[in-house]
Amino acid sequence: MANTGFCAFCCRRKWVKRDWAIATVAITVIIAAVIIVILFFTVFSDSRNRKTSSPTFAPPSAGDFVPLTLLQSAKATGAFCLDGSLPGYHFQKGFGSGSSNWLLHIEGGGWCNSIESCNSRKGTSLGSSNYMEHQVQFSGILSQDPSQNPDFYNWNKVKLRYCDGASFAGHPESEFKNGTELFFRSQLIWEAMMNELLSLGLSKAKEALLTGCSAGGLATFIHCDDFRDQLPKDATVKCLADAGYFLDEPDILGNRTMLAFYRDVLQLQGVAKSLQQDCVGRMEPVKCIFPQEIIKNVKTPFFVVNPAYDSWQIENILVPIGSDPQGYWSSCRLSIKKCDATQIKRLQGYRDAMLKALSMFQRNEEGGMFINSCFSHCQTSYSAWHSPNSPRINNKTMAESVGDWYFNRKESKLIDCPYPCNPTCNNDDYT
């Protein structure tokens, strides 16, 4: 029977009062011991996880999210997003040795070149603050973790949200008054943003860096010298554009798609007024929006971060929609790993055009560059900036190269070998 063993043990003799007393004491001791162990580990764990009081200059944890601030002062000047909402920014205060230094990062997100595309855009965070995240996580060049951002981790950092579609360079004179309800006020947004940040302490900056990605990178080219002019004369002020060096190159059919696109943006939003006027006076204004022309006259020290095989440019400038009706490029334009030998040769030609467009700037003594051979786009605001998996040139990350340049530690003009020579690249794959 199943209970035979148990019964044989229990029925040997009847327990007396002494036996019950001993058992009760033993059980009490065991329970007490368990409680003590539980309390010990609870207190120990709590002492490890409890936040201790910190000095006022200590940073929040690296994973903290930074809240959105709407620019209330924009009402007075009419500096509105495409849909008429207030523009916004995210501000994280600096600490310690970085409390007087500022890093501004302009968000990217393309452009709109027609009433239809701007109307579509105003229903997104790229055209309206009504759709912006209330909090964003700062990473890469915006990170407060010194292991991810060794030179700028404790600076005051601001992310300028992009809600206009013209790289902060549009003008209201070009607004349509026929009921479209679109606001082309991006130059006013830039000015209102600067006034706000100057009042928060930027006006007393000792060191400052204006950065931007993609369309924000183009905005950095456009506004770099104006940024410099608004800060103290004895401040160290420099600019960095990430994936903003857009080329005026023909697509695979020989059409200058990007030139035509930018021409529409300029005409629609009156961008020419924000471009260098000596350039606008010498040539067709649309040519003055390309960084190759802008950089010739920028007086402020500048750093260019750009992949030679910029994935956005390959997809939208070299092989834009409509240029490949047979679909020969359908996979290659989205992933360099899926290109055949003929296509790779064409991509090498695009790299050559990129390096040619940068050749004059390469001789600029105050300039810096990090041109890797990755198939990617924006890199500085993500882990590619500085991590074990970051792309490297001569064993240097972007963060190390930019730091060397900004603080004048050494010359920093790095150009990678042609694809596929760099094993540190984490190439985009949009297929």
Which residues lie across from 158 on neighbouring strands? 91, 104
Domain count, the chain: 1
Per-residue exposure over 317-347, b if at least 16 CB sit within 10 Å of its own CB, e if not: bbbbeebbeeeebebbbbbbeebeeebbeeb
Place of tokens 């334009």: 333
Q: How high is the mean pLDDT of the chain?
A: 88
Q: How high is the pLDDT of residue 316?
A: 98
Supply the range of the domain harboring residue 277: 63-415
The whole-number average pLDDT for the span 153-173 is: 97
Catalytic: 147?
no
Is 407 part of any domain?
A: yes
What would the two tokens of residue 189 be? 């947004």
Phi, psi of 304 (to 5 degrees): -110, 120
Q: Is the pLDDT of residue 175 over 90?
A: no
Instruction: Identify whether 386 is a catalytic site residue.
Output: no
Model confidence at 402, pLDDT cuts 50, 70, 90, reads very high
Lowest mean pLDDT among 69-78, 144-153, 177-186, 321-330: 177-186
Confidence at 179, pLDDT banded by 50, 70, 90: low
The pLDDT of residue 71 = 98
Please give the pLDDT value at position 158. Answer: 98
Does residue 15 lie within any of the structural domains? no
Domain assignment of residue 12, yes or no: no
pLDDT value, residue 6: 32
pLDDT of residue 99: 98
Annotated catalytic residue 310: yes
Instruction: Look up residue 429 and give its DSSP letter.
Output: B
Give the percent of the chain with pLDDT over 90.
Answer: 82
- Across the range 49-76, mean pLDDT stands at 64
List pLDDT tens digits, range 233-279: 999 999 999 999 999 999 999 999 999 999 999 999 999 999 999 99
8 Å CB contact between 300 and 392: no
Structure tokens at 406: 């900004």
CB neighbours of 101 closer than 8 A, spacing ≥ 6? 94, 152, 155, 156, 205, 206, 207, 208
Q: What share of the chain is helix, strand, coil (3-state, %, to 5)?
A: 40, 15, 50
CA pair distance 125, 84, nearest whole angstrom: 13
DSSP letter for 135, please.
Answer: E
Q: Sheet harboring 207-213: ordered strands across?
A: 135-137, 65-70, 88-92, 156-160, 101-106, 207-213, 236-242, 302-305, 368-371, 413-415
18-50 pLDDT per residue, tens: 444 444 444 444 444 433 333 333 333 333 332
User: What ranges in 270-373 are assigned the alpha helix state H?
Assistant: 277-282, 291-294, 311-313, 341-362
- Residue 22 domain flag: no
Q: What is the CATH classification number for the domain harbouring 147?
A: 3.40.50.1820
**276 inside domain:** yes
* Per annotation, catalytic residue among 214, 376, 381, 412: 214
Is 425 contained in some domain?
no
Residue 424 φ/ψ, nearest 5 degrees? -85, -5
Candidate list 274, 377, 381, 386, residue with the active-site label: 377
pLDDT for the residue 177: 60
The CA distance from 12 to 171, in Å, is 101
- The Cα 426–Cα 431 span in angstroms is 15
386, part of any domain:
yes
Asked if the structure places residue 288 within a domain, the reply is: yes
Say if strands 368-371 and 207-213 run parallel, antiparallel, or are unpaired: unpaired
Tell me the percentage of the chain whose pLDDT exceeds 70. Answer: 85
The pLDDT of residue 63 is: 53
Instruction: Give pLDDT tens digits for 83-100.
Output: 999 999 999 999 999 999
Split at pLDDT 50, 70, 90, the class of 226 is very high
Range 421-426 average pLDDT: 96
Active-site residue, selected from the candidate residues 310, 311, 376, 390: 310
- Give the count of alpha carbons within 13 A of 197, CB side only: 30
